[in-house]
A = this chain, B = another copy of it.
Amino acid sequence: MKEQHQPHIVVIGAGFGGIRAARKLSKLNVQVTLIDRHNYHLFQPLLYQVSTATLSIDDIAYPIRAMIKKQKNILFRMGEVTNIDFAAKTLLVDNNEISYDYLIIAPGGTTNFFGMDSIEKNSFGLKTLDEAVTLRNHILHKFELASYEKDSVKRHSLLTFIVVGGGPTGVESAGALSELIYLVMAKEYPTLNFKEVRIVLVEASDKVLAAMPEELQEATIEKLIRKHVEVRLCVQVTDYDGQRLTLKSGEIIPTHTVIWAAGIKAASLAATLTGNHDSAGRIIVNEYLQLPDHPEVFAIGDAVHFQQDSRPLPMIAPVAIQQAETACENIANLLSQKDLHKFTYKDVGSMATIGRNAAVVNMGSLKLSGFLAWTMWLFVHILRLVDFRNRFVVFTKWVWEYFFYERLVRIITRQ
């Protein structure tokens, strides 16, 4: 397959940025190798719907080989990249050496526990499919245990759910968890008093959804409170032993479940590469998205620190996708010896859903909350899913849940 004279471009990571890059590069007269630790592309924005039992894994995870089977010049390799030798232009995938002419580094992000080991060990992250399934199993199992727990102190602790982080992931998780518990499970545990359930959203700053305008932040908090979520702002978490969550104020909350959505950092591959990094381990690239000392190496997405308007860009999918476009154009430009393009991010706005009929949307001058925002959120997310079958099945499940107040992925696996 691989012809000798074709440049070989390696793309590390098959997230939003990596997949876009591999597909765009495949239109050039090059050979592309796409590497990922997993054999699937993950639609991370809906991961919290796996952990709250609305969607199953294959609704939001798509086999990478199925995505690239029409692009005959892309080879997929499942494996972990453990080292990159920029001088030799080689990298190690599970101890096998692969050489490249050009490289795009797009390993994505991982949960940032800010060095708090006890929290890393005992709380649940929400960045990977396995984490989401583990969290789903855990939540459902706590209700089963609570259903026959006679000690009220233990029962309260089993029924207390803390979500740390008031960003989109935290807000959406708290809202979805509330609906799972109060709209679905409340009908099915006759021995439980659901007044004993506590869902707390904890945020260190004085606002939720910091990127949103103030009116939408307030609408979000109001909706969360109506869904029986306690919103605690200006509260920092310092320790969690699996039973007791300690706040900076000294307050202790007994709980079996802490969901950590309070930060992300660059994947460990990015953080360990030679070169300059920011405090989140992100690679600092030049205005063309190249590593300053290695013009044949580009880095994109969550693993990259890129300043615009004196602030680093957020770690979100639209940034990764736009950077993939520019990185690929610049590789084409290098191949044809043209000038490179500088990267500029075009803000596409943001949205978050708090639950049924409730979302907030901020796009340019459009600021919406409530039912209309929720409808927009649904359509945008359905359209962004990978293929028609997934869209169709997810749509069916959402419609089903909406009308029948039912979540059928409440399956506890792997005990």
Task: Judge if A342 is at the interface, Cβ distance under 8 Å.
Answer: no
Partner of A411, one of B129, B392, B404, B414: B129
B412 touches A40 (CB 8 A): yes
B406 touches A396 (CB 8 A): no
Task: Judge if A99 is at the interface, Cβ distance under 8 Å.
Answer: no
User: A68's closest neighbor in chain B, by CB?
Assistant: B188
* C-alpha spacing A187/B66, complex, angstroms: 9
A190 touches B411 (CB 8 A): no
B393 touches A62 (CB 8 A): no
Task: Judge if A65 is at the interface, Cβ distance under 8 Å.
Answer: yes
Partner of A58, one of B56, B75, B144, B389: B56
Scoring A residues 129 to 142 as 1 if CB is less than 8 Å from chain B, else 0, what string do you get? 11001000000100
Number of copies: 2
Task: Judge if A153 is at the interface, Cβ distance under 8 Å.
Answer: no
A190 touches B413 (CB 8 A): no
* C-alpha spacing A147/B414, complex, angstroms: 29
User: A77's closest neighbor in chain B, by CB?
Assistant: B148
A62 touches B133 (CB 8 A): no
Across-interface contacts of A56 in B (CB, < 8 A): 56-59
Known contacts: A148-B77, A406-B66, A408-B390. The answer to whether A130 contacts B413 by CB under 8 A is: yes
Task: Judge if A1 is at the interface, Cβ distance under 8 Å.
Answer: yes
Q: How far, in Å, is A217 (CB) from chain B's closest CB?
A: 35
Task: Judge if A72 is at the interface, Cβ distance under 8 Å.
Answer: yes
For window 131-170 of A, CB contacts with B under 8 Å fall at 133, 140, 144, 147-148
Q: How far, in Å, is A369 (CB) from chain B's closest CB?
A: 30
* C-alpha spacing A57/B136, complex, angstroms: 13
A69 touches B188 (CB 8 A): yes
Across-interface contacts of A61 in B (CB, < 8 A): 411
User: A133's closest neighbor in chain B, by CB?
Assistant: B413
Q: How far, in Å, is A104 (CB) from chain B's closest CB?
A: 20
User: A128's closest neighbor in chain B, by CB?
Assistant: B413
For window 162-192 of A, CB contacts with B under 8 Å fall at 185, 187-191
Across-interface contacts of A185 in B (CB, < 8 A): 65
B393 touches A65 (CB 8 A): no
B188 touches A65 (CB 8 A): yes
For window 281-336 of A, CB contacts with B under 8 Å fall at none
Task: Judge if A38 is at the interface, Cβ distance under 8 Å.
Answer: yes
Partner of A96, one of B148, B189, B389: B148
Across-interface contacts of A397 in B (CB, < 8 A): 389, 393
Known contacts: A39-B140, A389-B396, A397-B389. The answer to whether A408 contacts B188 by CB under 8 A is: no
Across-interface contacts of A77 in B (CB, < 8 A): 147-148
* C-alpha spacing A387/B404, complex, angstroms: 12
A65 touches B414 (CB 8 A): no
Extra contacts, 18 of them, besides A56-B58, A72-B190, A393-B397 (Cβ < 8 A), are A1-B191, A39-B144, A39-B412, A40-B410, A40-B412, A56-B57, A57-B409, A57-B411, A57-B413, A63-B410, A63-B411, A66-B406, A66-B408, A66-B410, A69-B187, A78-B144, A96-B148, A389-B396
18 of the cross-chain contacts (CB-CB < 8 Å) are A1-B191, A38-B412, A39-B411, A40-B411, A40-B412, A56-B58, A58-B408, A58-B411, A61-B411, A65-B188, A66-B406, A66-B408, A77-B148, A78-B412, A96-B148, A129-B411, A389-B404, A389-B408
Closest 6 interchain pairs by CB? A65-B188, A63-B410, A58-B409, A78-B144, A56-B56, A61-B411
Please give the residue numbers on chain A whose beta carbons come within 8 Å of chain B beta carbons, in ascending order: 1, 38-40, 56-59, 61-63, 65-66, 69, 72, 75, 77-78, 96, 129-130, 133, 140, 144, 147-148, 185, 187-191, 387, 389-390, 392-393, 396-397, 400, 404, 406, 408-414
